[in-house]
Amino acid sequence: MLSKRLSVTVTRRLPDAVETRMRELFDVTLRTDDTPMTPAELVAAMKTCDVLVPTVTDDITAGVIGQAGERLKLIASYGAGVDHIDVQTARQRGILVSNTPGVVTEDTADMAIALILAVTRRIPEGLAEMQEGSWDGWAPTALLGGRIAGRRLGILGMGRIGQAVAKRARAFGMQIHYNNRRRLRPEVEDALDATWWESLDQMVARMDIISVNCPHTPATFHLMNARRLKLMKPDAVIVNTARGEVIDENALTRMLRAGEIAGAGLDVYENGTDLNPRLRELKNVVLLPHMGSATVEGRIEMGEKVLLNIKTFDDGHRPPDLVVPAML
């Protein structure tokens, strides 16, 4: 007698190759349109499936988890971050949570460097001139940006992505500095030619460019607050490809408008899609729609990790990317 296939519900459209493989392995319910589920839809899905595959756009709160059915045993998140899931409540209900760490490292690091170049070399302003048809030829003083070689880059969060940013920045001739909860091993520091700063305040005050690469936790919420942003040099810039909540967005907007910070490159925002409208008015700001990990290769690799986590769980083993709550 054939064993019953695992029931899996996916909350968003995934790459075709990933969805095809899911259909082959599981009894899967796929999302027909590429829009986030409503809370009511999430609750309905969690009452009828063994495994839920959400994305960062799904807010899996304690209240939502509390209405899950007895069948739900695994939340296999499609993405590295899990701050959209109440992991502690899930585990209390006997529901495991897995994620897809490491997949977005290279792509996000590429985007951090792209934002650094875009802001310092004023690329969007040049693009706008060309698209508007207002360019009337080369001029010695037109759209003057800054050279990044020799500049001090301060990396806030030196995990996988922070180190990948450091490797790329070194190739551009930048000086690598970092602040991290724990200092890297000497051999890692030497390989990156990186200088550790125990004091974030002291590092921020001396950098030409700040790259935010730390996760969002209670400890990192508004880590770059108004007081710390004011420590930055007037000709410094800041880029964020991590989590929007790490920067006080309103304070950053005020300082950019006042010329107290030279520029910013943002791929993430404190309130999701509801960003400060004044940011859109500033020429010294590059805004991207959370596309740091948006590569075909990255999205497929992410799906492959989700599949591996579910299949391992289905075989009776611990998912390789199991998320353990900090309190446990």
Summarised one tens digit per residue, pLDDT across range 279-302 is: 999 999 999 999 999 999 999 999
104 within 8 A of 80, measured Cβ to Cβ: yes
104 within 8 A of 82, measured Cβ to Cβ: no
Number of other CB atoms surrounding residue 61 within 10 Å? 14
User: Exposed, middle or buried: residue 231 (CB in 10 Å: 0-12, 13-18, 19+)?
Assistant: middle
Q: What's the pLDDT at 3? A: 59
Instruction: Examine residue 328 and state whether it is found in any structural domain, yes or no.
Output: no
Dihedral sign for Cα 166, 171, 242, 22, please. negative
Q: What's the pLDDT at 2? A: 47
Strands 237-240 and 194-196: unpaired
- Kindly report the CATH number assigned to the domain that includes residue 117: 3.40.50.720
Q: What's the pLDDT at 326? A: 60
Residue showing tokens 């940011």: 279
Q: Do 57 and 21 belong together in one domain?
A: yes
Give whichever of 32-41, 83-92, 169-178 has the largest mean pLDDT: 169-178
Q: What's the pLDDT at 159? A: 95
Q: Do 124 and 209 belong together in one domain?
A: yes
Instruction: Examine residue 266 and state whether it is found in any structural domain, yes or no.
Output: yes
Q: Do 67 and 173 belong together in one domain?
A: no
Q: Average the pLDDT over 82-95 and give the result.
A: 94
How many Å apart are CA 279 and CA 265, to the nearest integer?
11
Share of the chain above pLDDT 90, in %: 92
DSSP E strand boundaries for the chain? 7-10, 27-29, 51-53, 74-76, 96-98, 152-156, 175-179, 194-196, 209-212, 237-240, 263-266, 285-287
Q: Is it the case that residue 244 has pLDDT exceeding 90? A: yes
Q: Do 169 and 194 belong together in one domain?
A: yes
Q: What's the pLDDT at 327? A: 42
Q: Do 131 and 221 belong together in one domain?
A: yes
Q: Is it the case that residue 137 has pLDDT exceeding 60? A: yes
Q: Do 159 and 272 belong together in one domain?
A: yes
Instruction: Examine residue 325 and state whether it is found in any structural domain, yes or no.
Output: no
Q: Average the pLDDT over 140-162 and give the result.
A: 97
C-alpha distances (whole Å) from 178 to each of 61, 159, 190, 191, 192 are: 33, 10, 13, 14, 11
Q: Is it the case that residue 235 has pLDDT exceeding 70? A: yes
Q: Do 124 and 248 belong together in one domain?
A: yes
Neighbour-count burial for 247-266, b at 16+ CB within 10 Å, e otherwise = bbbebbbbbbeeeebbbbbb
Average pLDDT, the chain: 95
Instruction: Examine residue 190 and state whether it is found in any structural domain, yes or no.
Output: yes
Q: What is the pTM of this model?
A: 0.90
Share of the chain above pLDDT 70, in %: 98
Q: pLDDT-derived band of residue 212, with 50, 70 and 90 as boundaries?
A: very high
Lowest mean pLDDT among 9-13, 32-36, 74-78: 32-36
* Residue 112 structural domain: 105-287
Q: Is it the case that residue 328 has pLDDT exceeding 60? A: no
Instruction: Examine residue 300 and state whether it is found in any structural domain, yes or no.
Output: yes
Q: What's the pLDDT at 83? A: 86
Q: Do 64 and 208 belong together in one domain?
A: no
Query: How many domains is the chain partitioned into structurally?
Result: 2
Distance of CA 184 to the CA centre of its chain: 22
Q: Average the pLDDT over 213-238 and give the result.
A: 96
How many Å apart are CA 51 and CA 64, to the nearest integer?
15
Q: Do 206 and 307 belong together in one domain?
A: no
Instruction: Examine residue 41 and state whether it is found in any structural domain, yes or no.
Output: yes
Rounded to the nearest 10 degrees, what angle do helices 296-314 and 105-120 cross at? 150
Instruction: Examine residue 327 and state whether it is found in any structural domain, yes or no.
Output: no
Q: Do 17 and 120 belong together in one domain?
A: no
Q: Do 303 and 231 belong together in one domain?
A: no
pLDDT digits (tens, 9 = 90+) for 29-61: 999 888 999 999 999 999 999 999 999 889 999
Instruction: Examine residue 166 and state whether it is found in any structural domain, yes or no.
Output: yes
Q: What's the pLDDT at 280? A: 93
Q: What's the pLDDT at 72? A: 97
Q: pLDDT-derived band of residue 1, with 50, 70 and 90 as boundaries?
A: very low
How many Å apart are CA 111 and CA 85, to the nearest integer?
25
DSSP 85-124: B-HHHHHHTT-EEE--TTTTHHHHHHHHHHHHHHHHTTHH
Q: Is it the case that residue 252 has pLDDT exceeding 60? A: yes
Q: Do 39 and 119 belong together in one domain?
A: no
